[in-house]
A and B are shown apart, each in its own frame.
Chain A
């Protein structure tokens, strides 16, 4: 068990460019979450997958954001036409649905995005 891994860890991009982040959850976890965290704040929920199905999207997730989880394994989060307000850390997390909704959610180390 290598934990939740995210790639890249840091990304600097110019305004208007597209960026994609990848998340590999813990292998036996069927739930996968994306959060956004700005400096000094708590993480804010973006979207959630159970297996390959995207079951909820936050209103924070504008049309420029898209997330996928093909085959229910790794996930990608793409931001199109980046804006300076997109600068944040994007956190991926995973958990198991067996045993109920209170299972521990494990977080990755995050992907820092800076839009210049």
Chain B
């Protein structure tokens, strides 16, 4: 079974600064994807960024980038130039080749961006 762990229940950052959210996972699968999802207060969860395990290059999406360390089973999210709209709960999630897309989520990190 796969597990996903987010060890930071809450984080805060000043607007325009950079913040990094941590995630570790455990799996015996070789073929998998990792995701970061954002869930704003009272709004639906949306995908922030995705990383394929067999790709060595770290994924980036505008101000969002990941640091994927496969051997260490670590998958952190860096948010640059933080904006007030980034305030949300962030979930790290995993899906493996045998899971037909089913996601296993971490516990989440509440990120607050202060003006």
Contacts and interface: CB of A to CB of B under 8 A. Distances in A.
Interface of A: 3-4, 31, 33, 40-45, 48, 50, 55-56, 91, 95, 97, 101-110
Interface of B: 4, 33, 37, 43-47, 50, 52, 91, 93, 95-97, 99-108
Given A41-B107, A107-B45, A33 B95 contact: no
17 contacts: A4-B44, A31-B100, A33-B101, A42-B93, A43-B45, A45-B102, A45-B104, A55-B100, A56-B102, A97-B101, A101-B96, A102-B33, A102-B50, A102-B52, A105-B101, A105-B103, A107-B45
Nearest to A95: B101
B95 A41 contact: no
B100 A48 contact: yes
Contacts of B97: 101
Given A31-B100, A101-B97, A101-B99, A108 B44 contact: yes
Nearest to B44: A109
Contact of A50 (B37, B52, B100, B105): B100
A33 B45 contact: no
Query: Of A44, A48, A104, A108, which is in contact with the most chain B CB atoms at under 10 Å from its CB?
Result: A104
